[in-house]
Every structure is written in C-alpha cells, then in structure tokens.
C-alpha cells in the first residue's frame, strides 16, 4: 500500500501523483511552505529593529526586552510536542493552517497592546502560531520528496526565512516612522491570514485508507530490532522511545540547543543592540549592517543548496560539510565578538556564512527515522533548539543587567555574556565530535508502505 496524492488546484480528486514529487507541482508545494516561513521569520526577527521603540514607549529594561523576545520561543516551544503528534496524525496542511491562526490573533493583540504584560501574551501567541511553519515543511518534504533532496530543501526554506528577516530589518526601519510598530504588526497579521488560505487550498489533504486497520496489524508483526514499529502517534513513551533512546539524537542535540538556538537568539535580538551600545553605531547604520548580515545569510543558504549535491558526488556528505562549517563558525564568532575594529562587520558576515549550515542538522536527523516519525522527530529536536534560544536570549539580558549593576561598562557586560555563550558552544561541539566513539548511532529501516492515503 502507498500514499496517493491529488490536487485541489487542478480539481481532479481521482488523479494520483507519483512520488517523489517532481517538476512544477513539487515547486508549488514548496512555495506554499516557503511563504508561511517567510512570515514566521519576519515575526521572529522584528524585535531587532523595533526594540528602541518598545523601550522608549513602554519604558522596559534589558531583561524585560529579553523576556519579551524570549516569549516568542516560549510559545514556540510549548507547541512542539503536540505539533509533532498532529503532523504525524493529520498531516502538514490541516496542522499548519489551523495553528497559524494563533499568529494572526497574537499579531493583532500585539498591535493593540498598551502594557508590557499584554505584549508578552501576544508574543507567546505569535510563537505558538508560527511554530508549525518549518516543522510542517520538513514533515511534508520527508513524505513527498526524495531523501537526496532534503538538505537542498532545508537550505531553500532558509532562503525564504532569511528573506523574511531581511524584510523585517531595513525596510521595517524605513516604514516604522509612518505606520509605527503597531502598524507593522497589523500588516503581519494580514499576511499571516493570506498564508493560511494558501496553505489550506494548496497542500495535500490526508484521507484514511479503507485497509488501514489491516495494514496496521501487518506492520506490528513485522517489527524487528532495527526497525521502528508504526506506533500510532500519541503522547506516550512507546511513541517517543525510538527518538529519545537514539544515540544520534543526543549526539547532535548540543548543536541545535546552543549553536543554532544561540544563533537565533543573537540574530533576533542582541545583534542590533550590540552594534549600537558596544560599537556605538547610529541605529540606522546598525539596521543597515543587520540587513547586510541577513543578506549574506540568504546567499549562504543559496550556496548550500547549490554546493551540497556537487559535494555528494565527490564523496563529501552533508554531515561532514556541516561539521566543517560549525567548527569554522566558532572562530568567526570569537573574532566578531571580541575583535572590535571599524571593520568588525566583516567577521559578522563571515559568521553568517558559516552558521548557514546549522539548519542542515534538522534535515539530517529526520533521515534516521521512518517517514511516519518525521513530525515527532523534527519537532522534538526543534523543541531543544528553541529551549536553547530562550536560555541564551534571556540569559544574555540578565548577564548584561548583572554587569551594569556591578558598575561595568556596557561593552564589558556584553563581553561577559558573549564569552559564556561561546564557551558553551565549544563544549557542545566537542561532544558532537567525540560522541560516536562512545555512542554509535542507530539507523532504522524506513517502511515505505504507508498506513493511510494522502489526497490533495
């Protein structure tokens, strides 16, 4: 038994598509996911530019600003486990479209908020609402596209995500004097609603197959020590045991939690204030540098999508490439944080090039499990990523306030926070390198027979 696919766009519910998806239809499905992720990344990074306005209008401290931005990650993290279950049970279309309605509600509340507590609640709702944008895409990619395309698709998604980050930096800085930060969030609410419509009418629709129960019983009898059984997705130990007991999950965990999660914390909040308060750039100049950083990041994702297939032909797999780039990112960060010259932006841009490889870990880990585990695997790993983002984003704010309370200069307080962050990353990278010697990874044979039929 195999999944079949139909399309609302073509109005032919009985026409089946061959897997893996190819051609223009594959591109259309990708673009449905990409638009939603563009918007989600704009939500994620918007505080970098509007932070001075929020501090001025609401009189909030550095710790409050860190908490406000981290509230996004709290909402994001709260939904990851139920999101993974929903993706494996109901598919990307229904899950992402319904979850994203929370982002619309949150953006409207944020735009109308008059106090800090309301902003935090709104930010949590926004984080919950966009939590499915990348995970639903990874789940769909794992089900509908070839395994060899996973790294390319992940990098291509980040191209659109980074484009959203670009749109939320210098362009937002230009329009904010005219519509204000409240108007910016009303625009984002409207774009989110548009994305919901595109997702609902553009993505595959899941339909239960009439022989589902018979197939389920057959699968249970075929379980072996090297195969994950087709356990119904639910909140139970049996459902998550193959993930949480897999050595590779624990090997790659620090890269998501501290490297990628920490990068998100820097990109979405502390990069802009660091440029203003440490390097003493004018806010408009800082916004331009942040815009340039995200532009370089975008081209780095494009480069990864282009280079990965070529490296594979030469025997260099995605894992090895990612390892090289993560190691290089440690060096670039050290130079960017502590080599504070007028040309410091060069080191930040080199950091952007190397950190573009962090997302490859998410495309790698789903390949260690069968397709019917893709939602749970991607969201469980993603949960650890955003736990790290929350810890780093809020932790830097507290270390800054601590340093200032001790009478330090702001630049010295930033140095303290960033050196702690860098040391933790280096420790996590060392664990990633040595873990295979002690905990060999386990692969599971993918079961290509599916327990239901997908209708588009």
Number of helices and strands in the chain (H, E): 20, 2
- Pair of tokens at residue 322: 């990612």
Number of C-beta neighbours around residue 389 at 10 A? 30
Q: What is the pLDDT of residue 187?
A: 94
Low-confidence stretches of the chain (pLDDT beneath 50): 1-10, 209-229, 447-456
**Distance between start and end Cα atoms, the chain:** 17
**Could you identify the residue written with the tokens 């696919």?**
5
Residues in the chain: 456
What is d(CA 203, CA 36) in angstroms, rounded to the nearest whole number? 12
What is d(CA 368, CA 309) in angstroms, rounded to the nearest whole number? 19
Rounded to the nearest 10 degrees, how much is the dihedral formed by the CA atoms of 43, 49, 51, 54?
-80
Q: What is the pLDDT of residue 16?
A: 62
Question: Do the Cβ atoms of 60 and 179 come closer than 8 Å?
Answer: no
Burial (0-12, 13-18, 19+ Cβ within 10 Å), 401: middle
Strand (E) or helix (H) holding 247: helix 247-254
207 bridge partner residues: 453
For 83, residues 6+ apart whose C-beta sits below 8 A from its C-beta are: 95, 99, 131, 132, 135, 375, 379
Half-sphere exposure of 154 (CA within 13 A, CB side): 27
Backbone angles phi, psi at 218, to 5 degrees: -65, -40
Backbone angles phi, psi at 82, to 5 degrees: -60, -30
Kindly state the DSSP code that residue 359 receives in the 8-state scheme: T
Strand (E) or helix (H) holding 48: helix 47-58
- Pair of tokens at residue 186: 């009303």
DSSP for 138-207, please give it: HHHHHHHS-GGGHHHHHHHHHHHHHHHHHHTSHHHHHHHHHHHHHHHHHHHHHHHHHHHHHHHHHS-EEE
For 376, residues 6+ apart whose C-beta sits below 8 A from its C-beta are: 84, 85, 87, 88, 233, 239, 240, 243
For 224, residues 6+ apart whose C-beta sits below 8 A from its C-beta are: none
Dihedral-angle region of residue 6 (phi above 0 means left; psi in -120 to 50 means alpha; beta otherwise): beta
For 318, residues 6+ apart whose C-beta sits below 8 A from its C-beta are: 151, 308, 312, 360, 363, 364
DSSP for 373-393, please give it: GHHHHHHHHHHHHHHHHHHHH
What is d(CA 108, CA 185) in angstroms, rounded to the nearest whole number? 7
Question: Quick one: CA dihedral 188, 189, 194, 197, positive or negative?
Answer: positive
Nearest Cα to Cα of residue 269 among 143, 394, 137: 394
Q: What is the pLDDT of residue 334?
A: 95
What is d(CA 203, CA 206) in angstroms, rounded to the nearest whole number? 10
Measured in whole angstroms, the distance separating CA 21 from the mean position of its chain's CA atoms is 23
Segment 194-223, tens digit of pLDDT = 999 999 988 877 655 444 444 444 444 444
Q: What is the pLDDT of residue 99?
A: 95
For 409, residues 6+ apart whose C-beta sits below 8 A from its C-beta are: none
């Amino acid at each position: 038994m195999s999944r079949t696919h139909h399309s609302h766009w073509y109005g032919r519910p009985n026409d089946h598509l061959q897997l893996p998806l190819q051609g223009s239809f594959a591109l259309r499905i990708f673009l449905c996911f990409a638009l939603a992720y563009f918007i989600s990344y704009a939500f994620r990074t918007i505080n970098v530019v509007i932070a001075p306005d929020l501090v001025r209008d609401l009189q909030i401290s550095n710790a409050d600003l860190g908490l406000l931005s981290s509230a996004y990650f709290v909402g994001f993290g709260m939904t990851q486990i139920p999101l993974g279950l929903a993706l494996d049970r109901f598919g990307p279309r229904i899950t992402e479209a319904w979850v994203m309605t929370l982002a619309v509600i949150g953006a409207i509340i944020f735009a109308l908020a008059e106090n800090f507590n309301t902003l935090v609640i709104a930010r949590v709702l926004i984080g919950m609402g966009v939590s499915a944008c990348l995970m639903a895409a990874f789940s769909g990619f794992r089900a509908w596209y070839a395994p060899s395309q996973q790294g390319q698709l992940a990098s291509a998604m980040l191209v659109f995500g980074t484009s959203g980050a670009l749109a939320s930096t210098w362009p937002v800085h230009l329009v904010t004097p005219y519509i204000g930060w409240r108007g910016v969030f009303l625009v984002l609410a409207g774009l989110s609603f548009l994305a919901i419509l595109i997702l609902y009418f553009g993505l595959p629709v899941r339909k239960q197959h009439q022989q589902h129960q018979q197939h389920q019983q057959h699968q249970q009898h075929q379980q072996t020590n090297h195969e994950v059984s087709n356990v119904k997705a639910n909140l139970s130990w049996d459902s998550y045991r193959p993930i949480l007991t897999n050595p590779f999950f624990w090997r790659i965990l620090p890269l998501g939690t501290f490297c990628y999660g920490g990068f998100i914390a820097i990109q979405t909040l502390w990069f802009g204030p660091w440029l203003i308060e440490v390097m003493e750039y004018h806010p408009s100049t800082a916004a331009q540098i942040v815009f340039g950083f995200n532009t370089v990041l975008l081209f780095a994702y494009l480069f990864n999508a282009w280079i990965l297939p070529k490296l594979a032909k030469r025997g260099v797999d995605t894992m090895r490439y990612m390892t090289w780039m993560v190691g290089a990112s440690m060096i670039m960060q050290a130079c960017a944080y502590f080599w504070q010259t007028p040309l410091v932006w060069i080191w930040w841009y080199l950091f952007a090039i190397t950190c573009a490889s962090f997302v490859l870990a998410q495309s790698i880990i789903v390949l260690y499990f069968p397709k019917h585990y893709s939602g749970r695997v991607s969201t469980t790993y993603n949960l650890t990523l955003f736990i790290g983002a929350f810890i780093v984003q809020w932790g830097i704010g507290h270390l800054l306030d601590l340093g200032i309370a001790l009478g330090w200069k702001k630049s010295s307080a930033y140095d303290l926070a960033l050196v702690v962050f860098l040391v933790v990353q280096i420790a996590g990278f060392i664990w990633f390198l040595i873990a295979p010697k002690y905990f060999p990874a386990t692969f599971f044979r993918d079961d290509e027979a599916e327990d239901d039929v997908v209708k588009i």
